Amino acid sequence: MAYVLWTQFLKHNPKNPHWPDRDRFVLSAGHGSMLIYALLHLTGYELPLDELKNFRQWGSRTPGHPEYHLTPGIETTTGPLGQGFGNAVGFAMAEAFLAAHFNREGHSLIDHHTYALVSDGDLMEGVAAEAASLAGHLKLGKLIMLYDDNRISLAAPTSVTFSENVAQRFEAYGWHTQTVEDGNNLDAIAAAITQARAVTDRPSIINVRTIIGYGSPNKADSPAAHGSPLGEEEVRLAKQNLGWPLEPEFLIPDEVLTHFRAAIKSGAQQEADWNARFAAYEQAYPELAAAFKQAFAGQLPDDWAARVPTFAPDEKGTATRNTSGKVLNAIAGQVPTFLGGDADLAGSTKTLIDSDGDFSPEDYGQRNLRFGVREHAMGSIANALALHGGIIKPYTATFLTFSDYMRPAIRLAALMGVEPVFIFTHDSIGLGEDGPTHQPIEHVAALEAIPNLIVFRPADANETVEAWKAAMEHHGGPVALIFTRQNVPTLDPAALREGVAKGGYILSDSEGAPDVLLLSRGSEVHLALAAQARLTSEDVKARVVSIPSMTRFLQQDQVYIDTVLPPDVRARVAVEAGIRMPWDAVLQGGAFIGLDRFGESAPYTTIYEKLGITVEAVVNAAMKELKGVSA
């Protein structure tokens, strides 16, 4: 399958792996990583044979599963099964949107296919089902999946666990399906790909019957060929069986290399033809061409934040999800390829772009992506939107408790260093009557445990503005923005803005050196402020520190951290409607007012009171800490 695709159909330039209009190839069955490494080396990418010889070793560019950014020509990190399938759907959505946005009659800048090689394991995973259902609904005609139907999984034949009719399943999703009975019949595979490319109103899947470990006399067509090396003796027998020379160990005949390296010349010509088309486009549409270049460079327009509002102090305030919606729309008005969507919760997450309609087969140029109740696919699709190029900071939205459904995709975004914005609302017991199934307790901490993910939980409207600005300007990884359902007071914007981007700052200081530090974030910051007022009336000097992003705050230099949290102030109290774990990094053994249990179904004010997250609890903890320090 891969040989036919890469030598007859795939549009790519080995000398420029980032050419915008290349076809995307996803090895979703990432455990077969040596396949793509071999293809990259043979077709002329900057992956020398020594790297293949160093397979899965420290410091190599040929790790056990393909990794984006590490190896030229790898479009996405795959290995966790089903993720590559979801990524492929996202690549196809990106192509459809960008084509609708930039192409003009007689000027086609974006016109490429997405191909993925998927396995039985990919198709067993729920994320693939979610993504396949959405792809069929969206009629993504430039998406072609090659299904390696070898009927063997790691532990046993697939007959033990997987007996569905895959073709019928995908027909029900709205896909075009074909079957090739012999995976070594190159002409049949080529004919099937040709037919799939001709079907433009549906995605396609080609079921190709293959034999795992083909050529191995003792391990072919068995789980023994799946997860472990054949072994030196079995490799020798396989070479003999296939009529291949035993030596040298790594043999690439000259005629084979010449055959594959033809991709260099053809790829250069394809890109040159595209460059000529772009020059004509630039002459006809100079402003669009400039926007195209900026988008594919991943750059924000200079005026991207021009419409972002600030908010006057207001005791009544508003929910931070509402403010987020206003900021999101302000950004969308300035950044044409900023787009995203939600898991059937737009009315609750406030994440619709008001000026646009829904991305659909009738109009792929619209920017509201309706993912349906498919959080896991939503995450993997968003990663591909960010990976594809041309789309600036794609975003997703759902309730915070459902971040668990997205976690594998969020983790891969962080691992790859790509930059989607993951929006989570209904951030605490503050959502009230929906009860403990929907009230996140450990979720902020769980997200903060992911390396290279920046998490913000702002306290009010103006912190929300600054968190969005920080997210848009952050590079090298994803950002999670976490917002309230309930109203929270709006703080004075002059008091706090610069410190939000640093993750933490002095929100309200005492007159003179503080006796106690009150630390918080999100909606509970307002409890800390009220506790400060109460303590001040009792002649206790309290400093309120807002830490909307623990991850970002702990990245600051020690001088800044010590300025905000003086080391000699040992009396410290943190308050958050969640678990203690993140706060131990700054508490120095101090007190924590929070939760070590699930919530309840009741009005949110009642829940806070009954579970002991109150101003009184903060004040009492502060007084106890002060007594302990003085003792």
Active site residues: 375
Question: Cβ distance 65 to 31 under 8 Å?
Answer: yes
* AA identity, residue 388: H
Q: Side by side, which strands form the sheet with 143-149? A: 24-27, 114-119, 143-149, 204-209, 176-180
Question: Which residue is associated with the tokens 């594959």?
Answer: 260
Nearest to 293 by CA among 267, 268, 273, 275: 275
Q: Are 344 and 373 in contact (CB under 8 A)?
A: yes
- Sort strands 479-482 and 421-425 into parallel, antiparallel or unpaired: parallel
Q: How far apart are CA 580 and CA 596, in angstroms?
A: 8
Mapping DSSP to helix (H, G, I), strand (E, B) and coil, where does residue 602 land? coil
**Element (H or E) spanning 144, and its range?**
strand 143-149
Residue entry with tokens 């003179």: 512
Taking the C-alpha atoms of residue 324 and residue 335, their distance in angstroms, rounded to an integer, is 16
Mention every residue, 6+ apart, whose C-beta is less than 8 A from residue 168. none
C-alpha to C-alpha distance for 253 and 388, rounded to whole angstroms: 35
All residues at 6 or more sequence positions from 354 whose CB lies less than 8 Å from its CB, including other chains: 329
Residue 525, classified by CB atoms within 10 Å of its CB into exposed (0-12), middle (13-18) or buried (19+), is buried
Bridge pairing between strands 143-149 and 114-119:
parallel
Please report, for residues 459, 502, 503, 530, 532, the alpha-carbon distance to residue 517 in angstroms, rounded to integers and kept in the order given: 17, 18, 16, 13, 9
Could you tell me which of 220, 246, 243 has the C-alpha nearest to residue 232? Answer: 246
Q: Which tokens hold the place of 553? A: 């705050």
Name the token pair of 263: 């991709």
C-alpha–C-alpha distance, residues 444 and 521, integer Å: 11
Q: Please, what is the Cα angle at 374 between 368 and 375, to 5 degrees?
A: 85
